[in-house]
């Protein structure tokens, strides 16, 4: 299919439909309203269902109900709404129900602002809701990449029976870019014999109980063992990372999402000034590309790194854990939706070089 100029939110919504998503439950919040708006028109056309819930709390519980019933289901929101969904996300993780959650991050804490931000990294990657659980977190840096990741997001959710988060910033949702959608009018979806769908007492399928309550210690321990084994496989198989000009580089920039694009421009500026710089861009924030980041920094040529974020410094903690002290890692960025320019980033590397 030829490329089409599309707004990020609409492209994501259409990509989800092409990935077989037929159910969407959400509540309006800027800057992601184009997703529910698009879904409200499109889903009925493909035999699906869009429902505007009374709150994000209700929306995520509808997602739990629909995912538990075997459907490919999605919700989207932005930071304050994602906070409200945390009880449900924890429930969904504990009940091993697949679903996809899009967070078009805006500035926080509290009501913050409605500009792009990366302030929800901790919430998405380190938990968010209560209890011991993980979500797979994808952090696309362009509309095309988001569209490409949607089928993968739904497949990953189904394969591992895990909630998957698309962690994007408001810029991805609001900008327009040429994209190529992968049209798939009749997606083949996996069987889900574990789902609630009406039980035949004479059949072979066991009765479905979609549940996150394990009142006996041994039983909860059993869930934890099962989840941990699954998380290990995900860490092994699902890491995605982009390495840009990292080979033989002197300085390594680390960034995800739209800021990573600014960092690429900074790499080019530095190269024009005779400085070998590169960028490591985690595409999965969980599982985190710990090994890959470490390998880049372990190169003899590397003198140090700089993590750039639209936050007060969150991913930098995971970068430092990955680098494990073998090279210095500095942080650059601001909360409050201030995006550093490529020139500022390049200048900061020059300063590190002079120091």
Partner 1 sequence: MATVFKKTPVLTDVPFHYCPGCGHGIVHRLVAEVIEELGIQEKCAGVAPVGCAVFLYNYMNIDMYEAAHGRAPAVATGFKRVHPDKYIFTYQGDGDLASIGTAEIVHAAHRGEKITTIFINNAIYGMTGGQMAPTTLVGQKTTTSPLGRDPEHCGKPIRIAEMLSTIEGSAFIARCALNSTPNIIKTKQAIKKAFQAQIDRKGFSMVEILSPCPTNWGKAPGEAMQWLEDNMIPYYPLGTFKEV
Contact set with partner 1 (CB under 8 A): 23, 25, 49, 51, 53-55, 57-59, 61-71, 73, 87-88, 91, 95, 196-201, 207-213
The DSSP 8-state label assigned to residue 340 in this structure reads P
- Evaluate the CA torsion angle 253, 258, 261, 262 in order and state its sign: negative
Judged by CB, which is closer to partner 1: 97, or 270?
97
Judged by CB, which is closer to partner 1: 65, or 336?
65
Judged by CB, which is closer to partner 1: 39, or 345?
39
Contacts of 40 by beta carbon, 8 Å cutoff, 6+ apart: 50, 52
Judged by CB, which is closer to partner 1: 197, or 299?
197
Judged by CB, which is closer to partner 1: 2, or 217?
217
Element (H, E) at 177: strand 176-179
Q: How far is the CB of 89 from partner 1 (least distance, A)?
A: 11
8 Å CB contact between 22 and 47? yes
Q: How far is the CB of 22 from partner 1 (least distance, A)?
A: 8
The DSSP 8-state label assigned to residue 77 in this structure reads E
Q: How far is the CB of 291 from partner 1 (least distance, A)?
A: 36
Q: How far is the CB of 70 from partner 1 (least distance, A)?
A: 7
Which pair of tokens denotes residue 4?
């089409």
Q: How far is the CB of 252 from partner 1 (least distance, A)?
A: 43
Beta-ladder partners of 242: 281
Contacts of 65 by beta carbon, 8 Å cutoff, 6+ apart: none
CA distance 349 to 81: 37
Q: Is 285 helix (H, G, I), strand (E, B) or coil?
A: strand
């Amino acid at each position: 299919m030829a490329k089409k100029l599309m707004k990020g939110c609409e492209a994501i919504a259409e990509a989800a439909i092409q990935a077989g998503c037929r159910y969407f439950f959400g509540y309006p919040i800027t800057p992601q309203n184009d997703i529910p708006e698009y879904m409200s028109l499109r889903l009925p056309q493909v035999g699906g269902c869009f429902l505007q819930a009374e709150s994000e709390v209700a929306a995520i519980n509808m997602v739990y109900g629909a995912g538990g019933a075997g459907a490919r289901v999605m919700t989207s929101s932005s930071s304050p709404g994602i906070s409200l969904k945390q009880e449900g996300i924890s429930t969904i993780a504990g009940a091993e129900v697949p679903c996809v959650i899009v967070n078009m991050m805006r500035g926080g804490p509290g009501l913050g602002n409605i500009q792009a931000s990366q302030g929800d990294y901790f919430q998405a990657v380190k938990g968010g809701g209560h209890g011991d659980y993980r979500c797979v977190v994808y952090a696309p840096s362009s509309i095309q990449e988001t569209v490409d990741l949607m089928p993968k997001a739904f497949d990953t959710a189904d394969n591992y029976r895990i909630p998957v988060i698309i962690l994007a910033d408001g810029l991805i949702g609001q900008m327009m870019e040429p994209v190529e959608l992968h049209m798939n009018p009749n997606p083949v979806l996996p069987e889900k014999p574990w789902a609630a769908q009406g039980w035949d007492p004479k059949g072979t399928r066991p009765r479905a109980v979609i549940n996150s309550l394990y009142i006996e210690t041994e039983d909860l321990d059993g869930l934890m063992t099962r989840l941990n084994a699954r998380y290990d496989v995900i860490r092994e198989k699902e890491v995605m990372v982009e390495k840009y000009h990292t080979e033989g580089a002197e300085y390594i920039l680390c960034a995800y999402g739209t800021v990573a694009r600014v960092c690429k421009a900074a790499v080019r500026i530095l190269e024009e000034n005779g400085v070998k710089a590169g960028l490591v861009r985690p595409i999965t924030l969980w599982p985190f590309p710990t090994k890959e980041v470490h390998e880049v920094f372990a190169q003899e040529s590397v003198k140090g790194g700089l993590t750039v974020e639209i936050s007060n410094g969150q991913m930098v903690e995971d970068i430092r854990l990955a680098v494990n002290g073998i090279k210095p890692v500095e942080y650059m960025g601001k909360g409050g939706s201030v995006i550093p320019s490529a020139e500022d980033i390049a200048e900061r590397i020059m300063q590190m070089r002079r120091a």
